[in-house]
Structure formats: C-alpha cells, structure tokens
Amino acid sequence: MRGRILSAAVGVLTLVAAHPAAAQAPEPYRVGMTAAITGPFSAGYAPTYEAYRTYFKRVNEAGGINGHPVVITYEDDRGEPQRAAAAAKKLTDGALLLINASISPTYKPVMTEAEASKTPLLFGGGVCPREAFPPAAPLIFCTTSFGSKWDSRMALGFIKEQSGTKKVRVGFAAQDIPLSRIELEFAEQHARELGMDTIPVVVVPGAASDFTPFAQNLKDAGADWVFSWAPWGVEIGVFEALHRIGWKGNYILYGHQPAQDELTRLRAPNLHALTGNAMFIESLPIHAEITKLVQGQTNHPAHYMAEGWTSAMVLEAGLRKCGWPCTREKLAQALSSVSVDTRGLRGGPIEMTADNHYRRATYYKVYRWDAGKNAIVSVGGWSKLDIK
C-alpha cells in the first residue's frame, strides 16, 4: 500500500517533469500569469485572474486574435515570493509574455526570471513598479490603476483643492508593510511641499485587534484630513474608528474593489474614495457588458473586474498589433506603442511609449456618498495627471 503511494508520487513527478506542451491547431498565443489567487492577499488579486480568464474566453470564442487563440497558463503564487519565482520559471518556458497580478514582494523574483529569459512582463492588478515609469525598463509594463507617487500627488492635490485657502493639517494612515509606509512617507513630505501641516505617518498593523487607538492618535493630533493608501482593511478600519470616536474631518483613501459597496454601506459624507477606475454605479455600456459576460463565470461581483479587464484589453491590443507569428521582442515592441481605448473604464486611453510603459496620462476620480441624493456621487469629473 505504502509502496504504491511512493511509486504513484514518483510517477506524478515524472509527469511533471515531462509536462508536454499541449499541441493543438491552430498554434495559440501563449501567455503566463502568476497571481495571488489564494492566500492572505487574494481578495485584491483573485478578481484580476478571473477577469483575464473571462475576457480571453470571449476572445477565443470569437475566433481568437489574428485567427489564433490565446492560451493563458495561470499559477497561484499565494503572494509568496518563492512560489512566484518558481511560477515565473515555469511560465517563461515558451510564453510570449508574463503577467504578474500579485503583491509587490513577488516583483523582484518575477522580474529576475523575466529578464533572464527576455520575456516581457506585464503588471496588471498589483501596484506599478517604478521600472514601468519613464524611463521605463524595456520589458516591464504596467496597467494597474493605482501607482505609487502619482496617487499621493493626486490625493493631496484633491485635498488642497477642497480646502481652498484654508491651511489644513493632514494625517496619514499606512499599513505596516514597506510599500504603504514608503508611499505615505513620500506623501507626508509632498504635503509639506504643498504648504500643508502634516502629522507623522501612523502605521497600523494589518491584523490590528482594534483600530481605535490609532484613530485616537490621528484625532488627538488634530487632523483635518486623513489620507490612507494601504490594503483595504486598514484604509477602511481606520476610517470607521475615526468616525466612531466622533472625528469630524475628511478622509480620503484609494478606492480598491470593495470601495463601491463600502461607500454605500457606510453612507458617510466625509469618506472619499480616490480611484482610477470608473465605478459601476455610472452604468456605462462597458459596465453592462462586463456584468453580462461574467455572469456565472466568477464568484466575484462584476465591478471587481474593472482592474483586470483593462489590463486584458491592453494585452489584447498588444497581441493584435504583434500579429502572427508573434515573438517576445515583437510583443514588447508592440506594447511599447499601444494605445487602448478603455471605453470609459478609465478616464482616458492607456497610451504607452518607448520610454513610458505606464501611460502617458493617468486619470482619477473621487467618489463619495451624497446623503441628499442617497447615492454615490463623483466629486467633479476625471482629473488628468501627465506622466513624465
């Protein structure tokens, strides 16, 4: 019995080793994706994986791209760097492009693999690495709506605009992960440059048992505005605690996927969600289309798909432009000059250039709950920020 288990294991290992490249006609475009599909951070990344899957299912059903289907191999890295490295190693074997939709600690190992095999690497879902910003690394691309430095600039600009001539004091709520802390330390400095009063960044553990003491620190320091750029749990946790202890200031956070539901749940007029994706409450045609397409294909709500959907659009455009046969170099080149109309999912087209693999301009919108209308409203329209 035990001997059999052992031989079965050996057999399976041999299978893994010999994993044959599935041969079908016509030849497909091969792409690999490593994503945090499960694990403690999956809430933000699993929807991207599902969006890609649904999106290219439709593309393939409609005859593929240039007559060739797109085959994406998905690997679950659980947000663990080692697993991502192994996944990247596996995926670069024969893939035209690698997609990363995972947390930032997976970036370095995946980039190392992509670089070694000269595979273009597209970040879609996780925060954009600085290699995608101008001057961009030749093989690194990013479609994610949120990006460090730009988001802080935009949020602080919004605060300044809202408060007019009044001198405001701004607080910052970060999570105890390097990414969030570094971003908000930048924001703190930037706020001072903009002439605002600042409170040192309050760093909150992701697993805080109670957000109240952190909120109390912000309240005691006299914050008029608080900006939070972190995973959703901390962003909203600090706000709710502030709200409960009777803080009357304004709060702005990055609007991740749950933002739309949470604004509705909390109905707090002083809660602002800054986001690069149009919320589905705007009911654009593309929103309806996505909603219909993902019906029964995913366990996540349709409005969680926006991030991945946009990314998939960019990949599709790149592949179309690459033609057939497509190579890694050609695809990298194609992506470097792509211009994608997001049909309203974003504030404008995603345009990449040879030295800007992020976008020539990025667009933001701020949403909040309007008690009078009993609905989420956007505060002004799209704002545009040129990326230079």
Task: Tell whether residue 333 is a contact of other proteins (CB under 8 A).
Answer: no
Q: Pick from 36, 38, 25, 61: which is nearest to 293 by CA?
A: 61
Residue (204 or 274) nearer to other proteins, CB: 204
Distance between CA atoms of 342 and 286, rounded to whole angstroms? Answer: 9
Site string for other proteins, 54-83 (x = CB under 8 A): ---x----------------x-x-xxxxxx
User: Which one of 204-212, 269-277, 341-349, 363-371 is the stretch in contact with other proteins (CB under 8 A)?
Assistant: 204-212
What is the smallest separation between the CB atom of 40 and other proteins, expressed in angstroms?
A: 4
Strand order in the sheet with 29-35: 70-76, 29-35, 97-101, 121-123, 140-142
Q: Does 103 bind other proteins (CB under 8 A)?
A: yes
Contact 361, 382 (CB under 8 A): no
Instruction: Look up residue 325 and give its two tokens.
Output: 């046969």
Both tokens of 262, joined, read 């949470």
Bridge-partner residues for 359, per DSSP?
none
| DSSP states along 172-206 | EEEESSHHHHHHHHHHHHHHHHTT-EE-PPEEE-T
Shorter beta-carbon distance to other proteins: residue 54 or 342: 54
Cα torsion angle, 234, 376, 269, 144, sign = positive
Q: Name residues contacting other proteins, limited to 226-285 (CB under 8 A).
A: 232-233, 236-237, 240, 243-246, 258, 262, 265
- Kindly write out the interface string for residues 83-102 of this chain, putting x where it contacts other proteins by CB under 8 A and - elsewhere: x-xx--xx-xx---------
> Judged by CB under 8 A, does residue 307 bind other proteins?
no
DSSP H stretches of helix in the chain: 2-18, 42-61, 81-91, 107-117, 150-163, 178-193, 212-220, 232-244, 259-266, 285-294, 306-322, 328-336
Cα gap 282→34, rounded to integer Å: 31
Is-cis flag, bond preceding 258, omega within 30? Answer: no
Token pair 């969006």 in the structure block, residue: 51
Least CB distance from residue 257 to other proteins, whole Å? 8
Contact with other proteins (CB under 8 A) among 53, 169, 320, 360: 53
303 binds other proteins (CB under 8 A): no
Interaction between residue 388 and other proteins (CB under 8 A): no
List the one residue from 142, 204, 286, 293 that touches other proteins (CB under 8 A): 204
Among 58, 108, 192, 384, binds other proteins (CB under 8 A): 108
Of 41-49, 277-285, 338-346, 358-366: span binding other proteins (CB under 8 A): 41-49
- C-beta closer to other proteins: residue 184 or 317: 184
Distance of closest approach, residue 222 Cβ to other proteins, in angstroms: 16
Q: Which stretch binds other proteins (CB under 8 A): 37-45, 323-331, 339-347, 359-367?
A: 37-45
Q: Which of residues 207-226 bind other proteins (CB under 8 A)?
A: 207-214, 216-217
Residue 249 or 301: the one with the smaller Cβ distance to other proteins is 301
Pairing of strands 250-254, 225-228: parallel
Residue whose CB is less far from other proteins, 3 or 285: 3
Query: Least distance in Å: CB of 165 to other proteins?
Result: 32
> CB-wise, 54 or 310, nearer to other proteins?
54
118 lines the binding site for other proteins (CB under 8 A): no
Q: What is the nearest approach in angstroms of other proteins to the Cβ of residue 6?
A: 6
How far apart are the C-alpha atoms of 247 and 240, rounded to whole Å? Answer: 10
CA–CA distance from 126 to each of 30, 119, 207 (Å)?
A: 22, 19, 21
Our CB check for other proteins shows the closer of 267 and 384 to be 267
Q: Say if residues 185 and 201 touch (Cβ distance below 8 Å).
A: yes
Instruction: Scan residues 135-164 and list those touching other proteins (CB under 8 A).
Output: 148
Q: How far apart are CA 154 and CA 383, in angstroms?
A: 9
Neighbour tally for 382: CB within 10 Å: 14
Say how many residues touch other proteins, by CB under 8 A. Answer: 86
